[in-house]
Amino acid sequence: MRVFLRPNLARCLWVTPFVSLTSMTLALAIRKAAGYPQLWDDGVPQQMLAIGYISGVIGFLIGIGSFDTWFPWMIGSPDRPDDHSQHGAYSWRDYFRFNTDHKVIGVQYVVTTFIAFLMGGMMAEIFRSELAHSGQGVIDTKMFNGLMSQHGTLMIFTFLVPVFAGIGNFVIPLMLGAPDMAFPRLNALSFWLLPLALLIFLSSFLVGSFEAGWTGYPPFSTEGPMGETLFEIGIQVAGASSIATAVNFLVTIITMRAPGMTLFRMPLLVWANLATSALVVAATPFIAGAQFMTMFDRVMGTKFFVPEMGGDVLAYQHVFWFYSHPAVYIMVLPGFGIISEILSVMSRKPIFGYRAIAFSSAGIALLGFSVWAHHMFASGMEDWLRVPMMISTMMIAIPTGIKIFSWLGTIWQGVLHMTTAMLFATGFIFTFVIGGVTGIWLASVPFDNHVHDTYFVVAHFHYVLFGGSVMTVFAGLYFWYPKVTGRMINEKLGRAHFWTTMISSNLVFMPMHWLGLEGMPRRVADYDPQFQNWNEVISLAAFVLGAGMLIFVYNVIVSARHGAPAGPNPYRSLTLEWQVSSPPPIFNFDIPPRVVGGPYRYGEPGAKHAIFPEPSVAKERTHA
């Protein structure tokens, strides 16, 4: 029975419903005490749902043990020295509890987000089979809208945004020469919010899935089924998770660098993460605000988006995109960092134009805040905003271009080792350029006024988010797989995975451009028969794309057992994460490193990024 009292998932089993039900009862009691005439009027189930879920999240966090040390600390109980019992993974069970080790959290993040990725992908397969033929087929419009909305939501909020937090979590403290993140408990808490967000989104199927897309524009979202409320709550939970992680990254990068690790000796992934985290911290609350407003409209009957009562429908889009455009950079900038790492190591050549790449990340992050309204060219937005937004959107192509050209400069005249990670990195450049150039077209207001909200836009952002971000995620996973597991991943299967992904994804997303230009709107369960042919191709290729993912899953599982032992540094990389054993020791560095030079000094004879000073001196520091 003790298992139900210690902080773990078993305790969550009773604490979560307990807190949830208590809150709902309390709310009903307050309703009754306040003398509301009807205890159960129309809005009440909606309110109970919101209260139950929000308090359930808190209950779960209490159950898993997020607050076990904070509560006593806050009220000033006597200090308890930490026994590090929550730190590190000694068996598989340690991955299922509140663990403060950044490496464990990194793995937890990546696995959770991958489950979300596969689910989102599965939903896409279902509605692609509906779209394979014109006319009503497998699912009805309601179901289609639900799946389409879930697909976008899961892919964005529970896959692409947090997966980079996962990769960063594992790699960045190691790259910096730090023993962990700055706030390990906060780190664990931000992770455990993520599976909750996933469950909240998925459970909306039970009460009527949200249909307004991942954008949730009112008034369609404010009048939708109850699932829409769960969408709004899920966004808050996922958003809280990503803000907490970003704060953690920023503090870690600012304060936890090893001696000698000046800003311009940081690996570029760290730079990318610095820029991304700044974006997350400053931008994410805007989507929280937007979802608070729609939720208040639904649950409490406020009038934010009721035009007859002074509501302002367009303002939602401004608030929403003020987050959601920077979110696009949140989803690609860390990927850019990953690519910079891989290209340099695999080309045995220093990165071309280190400072230009570092500053272009910062430039993209800054410019990213001034382009949000390009999503609203056709929404009836203020006319005077159009041209400035067009200019700033076009401008953002410049730092992005600098990055791409610098990468080409890096691989040119290198000694290219075409591992799977490198294949994905180079494949990424190819597909991302396509997404980039259509982005320039869409920035042009007159052109956007033709293809806005059509399949052209769907094609564009899938080239950016799949051809861009997902390719970098795979590149990163293949690249750091030996570090995480201590074993090499099967390259043959990796190459098979790359080529199926590369070919089928282009077959899926390229024809969508023509469909959009010709006149097929997005988010439709049914379409004009004239678009039939391309849709058949797309659906067929989508199934191949999905099957390709199975190769990856198989490879990851099997190689973890049967792969060749990797050794600490299979790629002869200079950065710090490769200077420790694979998998790394529980506290990362037995000897704290001293950084003496840049991270990409390949080809300079005897050049070093970091040295490890005398153990006797170092030991004293670590365990002080």
- Show contacts with another protein in window 105-164 (CB under 8 A): 134-136, 141-142, 145
Residues from 497 through 516 that contact another protein (CB under 8 A): 513-514
> 140 by DSSP, 3-state: which?
coil
Tell me which residue of 111, 255, 49, 241 sits closest to 172, measured CA to CA. Answer: 255
365 near another protein (CB under 8 A): no
What is the residue-wise DSSP string for 267-309? -HHHHHHHHHHHHHHHHHHHHHHHHHHHHHHHHT---TT-GGG
Structure tokens at 290: 């937007």
Least Å distance between CB 553 and another protein? 27
Count of residues touching another protein (by CB under 8 A): 160
Contact indicator for 585, 534 with CB cutoff of 8 Å = no
Nearer to another protein, 455 or 466 (CB): 455
Nearer to another protein, 35 or 446 (CB): 446
Nearer to another protein, 111 or 601 (CB): 601
Binding mask 243-272 for another protein (x = CB under 8 A): x---xx-xx--xxxxxx-x-----------
281 near another protein (CB under 8 A): yes
Nearer to another protein, 1 or 74 (CB): 74
The length of the chain is 624
Q: Please state, in angstroms and rounded to a whole number, the distance separating the CA atoms of residues 117 and 114.
A: 5
Looking at residue 198, its amino acid is L
Residues from 594 through 613 that contact another protein (CB under 8 A): 601-604, 607
Least Å distance between CB 562 and another protein? 23
Least Å distance between CB 101 and another protein? 9
Least Å distance between CB 113 and another protein? 22
Residues from 27 through 56 that contact another protein (CB under 8 A): none
619 near another protein (CB under 8 A): no
Tell me which residue of 621, 623, 624, 569 sits closest to 258, measured CA to CA. Answer: 621
Binding mask 456-495 for another protein (x = CB under 8 A): ----------------------------------------
Nearer to another protein, 154 or 423 (CB): 423
CB-side neighbour CA atoms (13 Å) of 235: 31
Q: Please state, in angstroms and rounded to a whole number, the distance separating the CA atoms of residues 436 and 364.
A: 13
With both helix axes pointing from N to C terminus, report the angle between 161-176 and 313-347 in degrees, rounded to the nearest 10: 40
Contact indicator for 311, 303 with CB cutoff of 8 Å = yes
> 81 by DSSP, 3-state: which?
coil
Quickly tell me which residue has 């979590």 as its tokens: 169
Nearer to another protein, 53 or 602 (CB): 602
Q: Please state, in angstroms and rounded to a whole number, the distance separating the CA atoms of residues 315 and 286.
A: 12
573 near another protein (CB under 8 A): no
Of 13, 115, 126, 404, the one binding another protein by CB under 8 A: 404
Contact indicator for 389, 371 with CB cutoff of 8 Å = yes
Tell me which residue of 449, 459, 284 sits closest to 375, measured CA to CA. Answer: 449
88 near another protein (CB under 8 A): no
Nearer to another protein, 276 or 485 (CB): 276
Least Å distance between CB 587 and another protein? 7
Q: Please state, in angstroms and rounded to a whole number, the distance separating the CA atoms of residues 291 and 597.
A: 46
Task: Enumerate the β-bridge partners of residue 610.
Answer: 595
Binding mask 159-198 for another protein (x = CB under 8 A): ------------------xxxxxxxxxx------------
Nearer to another protein, 418 or 550 (CB): 418
In whole angstroms, how far apart are CA 42 and each of 29, 53, 122, 562?
17, 19, 35, 58
Nearer to another protein, 199 or 429 (CB): 429
Of 203, 370, 444, 569, the one binding another protein by CB under 8 A: 444
Quickly tell me which residue has 């439709």 as its tokens: 524
Nearer to another protein, 114 or 403 (CB): 403
398 near another protein (CB under 8 A): yes
Of 4, 441, 499, 554, the one binding another protein by CB under 8 A: 441
How crowded is residue 33: how many other Cβ atoms within 10 Å of its Cβ?
A: 8
With both helix axes pointing from N to C terminus, report the angle between 397-411 and 386-395 in degrees, rounded to the nearest 10: 10
Contact indicator for 109, 194 with CB cutoff of 8 Å = yes
Nearer to another protein, 35 or 81 (CB): 81
359 near another protein (CB under 8 A): no
Least Å distance between CB 554 and another protein? 27
Binding mask 313-352 for another protein (x = CB under 8 A): xxxx-xx--x------------------------xxxxxx
Q: Please state, in angstroms and rounded to a whole number, the distance separating the CA atoms of residues 622 and 593.
A: 11
Nearer to another protein, 64 or 131 (CB): 131
